[in-house]
Amino acid sequence: MRPAAAAASLALALVVSACTSFYEVPIETPIQPKMDVSGFQRVLIAGFLAGGSEDVDANLETVRLLRSQLRSKSNLRVIDADVLPLLEIALEHQASLGNESGGTNGNGSPAGDGSESTVGVQRARAVDPATVRIRDEKDLEPLETIFANVAYWKKIGEEFQNPLIVTGSVLFIPHARSGFVQREQEYFDRLGRRRVVPVRTYMERKGFILRPKFVFIDGRTGATLYSETFREEILYSPQQATPALSSYFELMDRLVPSFLSTLSTQKIRGSRILLK
């Protein structure tokens, strides 16, 4: 067996040495979209329930970014329209649900019994959108019923000739974490040679969490076709001062490819080495 293996190795070496050159061939691998959007020619990025950092208008920035990406990387025609004030619309929808219940709570008890459901209905009737502060997912949860309002989204679809509607929620919140972080430390030994060793250091880091939920709605029927939630975070050392808006765009850059892969075929580019 050993002589045979040695002979095979020798033959391979001779073949490689006989190759006068090699060249790199670019290849593209298509990835099919998660949704079938063949029934749509137009897409409306309507608006988002946004909360978290007051330094970033996550609703407006998300709409702008997704519109720009779809214009350059999708076959769908992007509709130019005013961004919906989705928080105000969601609060009105929440209040209407309370009115339709006839002033009762979720168990059918008369309003005013002090239950949590009744308090929620009363708050929805009187709340001013300018005073609402969305800080976490618990604040978003009762407002996200707006995405199930089929009549509302069908009306929006009729107004814009039945497009695919993209909406959802975006949380961009400050975040802090303490713990040991491994980093590389450089030094030179006695002979002047450069050395790099891993060092564990306790550090308090601050940054942001981005948690968008994309909801895709059929403008012809108002029904939800697909939804997907993502979560990304970024942390910085105490010495690094990074503007909130820069962090937002850095985190969105990580998510945009996944968003685009929902609507259109994406191509993974690579290469292969061929011998000649």
The candidate with the shortest Cα–Cα distance to 216, out of 48, 31, 30, is: 48
- Specify the pLDDT at position 23: 65
Residues 6+ apart with CB under 8 A from 29: 267, 268, 270
pLDDT tens for the chain, 276 residues long, are 555 555 555 454 544 455 556 667 777 666 777 888 889 999 999 999 999 988 999 999 999 999 999 999 888 999 999 999 999 999 988 888 776 655 444 333 344 444 333 334 444 455 777 788 888 899 999 999 999 999 999 999 999 999 999 999 999 999 887 766 677 778 787 778 888 878 777 678 899 999 999 999 999 999 999 999 999 999 988 888 889 999 999 999 999 999 998 987 766 666 667 666
For residues 270 and 267, give the distance between their C-alpha atoms in angstroms, rounded to a whole number: 10
- Specify the pLDDT at position 119: 36
- Specify the pLDDT at position 104: 40
The letter for the amino acid at 74 is S
- Specify the pLDDT at position 222: 96
- Specify the pLDDT at position 20: 58
Q: Which residues pair with residue 274 across a beta bridge?
A: 23
The candidate with the shortest Cα–Cα distance to 139, out of 122, 120, 153, is: 120
For residues 238 and 80, give the distance between their C-alpha atoms in angstroms, rounded to a whole number: 41
- Specify the pLDDT at position 95: 84
- Specify the pLDDT at position 19: 52
> pTM score, two decimals?
0.72
- Specify the pLDDT at position 68: 95
Q: How far apart are the first and last CA of the chain?
A: 30
Beta-carbon-side half-sphere exposure of residue 183 (alpha carbons within 13 Å) = 10
At 156-184, the pLDDT tens digits run 999 999 999 999 999 999 988 776 667 77
- Specify the pLDDT at position 117: 37
The residues spanned by each domain of the chain are: 2-275
